[in-house]
Chain A
Amino acid sequence: MSERSVPDWLLKEDKFDPPKDGGAFLRKSALALASVIRSVRRVPERPRGPSFSPPMRLALAVLTILLVSASRNFMFVETIGVALLVLLATFDARKLARTLALPLEAYLTALAILAPALLWGQTRAFVVVSTKTLVTTLVLSLLIQSMNWNRFTCAFKTFGAPDSLVFIFDLTLKYVVVFSEICLETIDAVLLRSAGRNRRRARTLGGVVGTIFLRAQDAAQEQFDAMTCRCFSGVYRRYRAPFRRSDIVGVSILIAILAIFAYFEYARLCLT
């Protein structure tokens, strides 16, 4: 069997440096949409500790956020911050990064907005407001990371939220995913079919948005028809979240947070 040599032209490395065109804007939009879909479709990891029911989680988070916002004793904010730090210390690096991304963004924004307070000598306000921002957004981030979006619907209903609110929330989340997917597919198609140099590629995004708007109208009609067919008038049955054993721990934490808040507020009153 005779040996065959590889032709020289095949060994040469292809140099393909396409000229810059207007596709970066579309690609970034596609990535942003993909991240939206991922965040809504995310399946939270199963917690290692006690798993509270969705209403219990919502109650814990809302109460903590309210008390941290209302607290006039900074020690309470510090205590909650320390407790959250201990919780974070049990996370692995990946979960930690995911949980801290939103609060750190909010914290840095708060620092930037409050920076003029330092010039006026309001150091205390600077520290207190920025820390409260960090702690409350951290609680929110932990809540979002801990359960699926549909669990939020259940939790809202348990607390007697109006049907219209639950319906809008539910529908919004579902259609965020549906329309993001359509949008993503359309952008992909535009990027694939637009060959060569096209400086005005970003303009096609306007067409994509227009298409989505038309599809949204159709979807709304289809949704209405589907609801009519299934005799769904937008009234949700009250979701009875089973009271789990672990919720006893949640109730204990809730009481502890209230007690700590009361203690620090009492201590503040005594000091003043």
Chain B
Amino acid sequence: MHIPDNYLSASTCVVLTVATMPVWISSIRKVTRDFPRERFSALGVAAALSFLAMMFNVPLPGGTTGHAVGGALLAILLGPEAACLALTIALAIQALLFGDGGVLAFGANCFNMAFILPFGGYCVYAAIRKFFKVKTGSVGDLLAVGFASYFGINLAALAAGVEFGVQPLLFHTPEGQALYCPYPLAVSVPAMAIGHLTIFGLAEIVFSVFVYTFVHKTAPGFATNSSFFSQTVAEAAEADVSPKTGVLPKFGPVYLLLVLLVILTPLGLLAEGTAWGEWGVDEIASVTTSGEELGYTPQGMTNGFEWSAFIPDYSTPGVPEWLGYILSAIAGVALCVVLFKLATLLTHGDPLAKE
């Protein structure tokens, strides 16, 4: 679902970035107001969880791959605004450091995965909880988490499909060749939907329900969304307070989960092929859709913007692929945690200045 650079026109990227701006601003305001300094580490851990979820590529018959995002899960655990910020940071690291998702298309990717996915999934979860009066931790609750995450990722995939699909309608040469993404809505929407309605949606459900259950049982203090966890988690969080600082919540089990996921990330390499809509400039001309080869490379892609990432595609030449993948996972996780710790200086003031 990571839209690369040059698949969307510059104007589309600007429109989607501007559309995401109010969400970012309101999310920063809400999180700054609601999250104490000590809880900011939870955001870093959440961003790391999502970063790792996106590294587990799942194959789809036909040669494409996809992955879970965990956006709705983060929204349920920490609130949609916090999830939005965590996903934004995870997507920024992926784009800048690993070339996964475009730099120009960063706003578009955030619109889909950091706005539509968590907010959409959250609304569905909240509606189910309210309508069916589901208790936290019950089977109904797990079903709600699963359904919300499934709905969220499909909504985001639909948005990405529409963004891809409008490109050939709006931007094409006089001869009719697309300048950017060459596939119209009739192709892009079903192509995005098929994978996410089936395998990728299932992967999102499995990841979300597994992590939700794990967090609920081992580190309930991690979940801070007071809308749903005020009864059970407040008590649990109180018992989970670090005796050393008196404030810092212990996320030990969640950190262990991160380590486990990092070790398992090479499993994502088993899935071969490129995700739909993420082909390189050198391969798009030979992509076959409905038995027909595209046969040309859109002009916007050949002359487009190119970002040279630090560790492109999570791998480095001369090193086994699995090792490069693990190193990338460690770097991504550590960077998520470090960036959110540094963010506390911006949101809660500079502690050095108060010394």
Contact = CB atoms under 8 A, between A and B. Distances in A.
B11 interface: no
Contacts of B246: none
A97 B351 contact: yes
Interface stretch (B62-70, B223-231, B234-242, B327-335): B327-335
Interface in A54-109: 73-75, 78-79, 81-82, 85-86, 88-89, 91-94, 96-98, 100
A97 B352 contact: yes
A253 B335 CA distance: 22
A124 to B, nearest CB: 9
Contacts of B311: 78
Interface stretch (B71-79, B130-138, B280-288, B340-348): B340-348
Q: How large is the interface on A (under 10, 10 to 19, 20 to 34, 35 or more residues)?
A: 20 to 34
B341 A92 contact: yes
Interface stretch (B1-9, B27-35, B312-320): B312-320
A264 B351 CA distance: 40
Contacts of B308: 123, 127
A245 to B, nearest CB: 23
A97 B331 contact: no
A271 B318 CA distance: 7
Contact of A73 (B44, B318, B342, B350): B318
Contact of A267 (B310, B318, B327): B318
Contacts of A94: 351-352
A268 interface: yes
A89 B318 contact: no
A93 B318 contact: no
A156 B52 CA distance: 43
Nearest to A267: B318
B337 interface: yes
A75 B319 CA distance: 8
B338 interface: yes
Contacts of A97: 342, 345, 350-352
Nearest to A82: B331
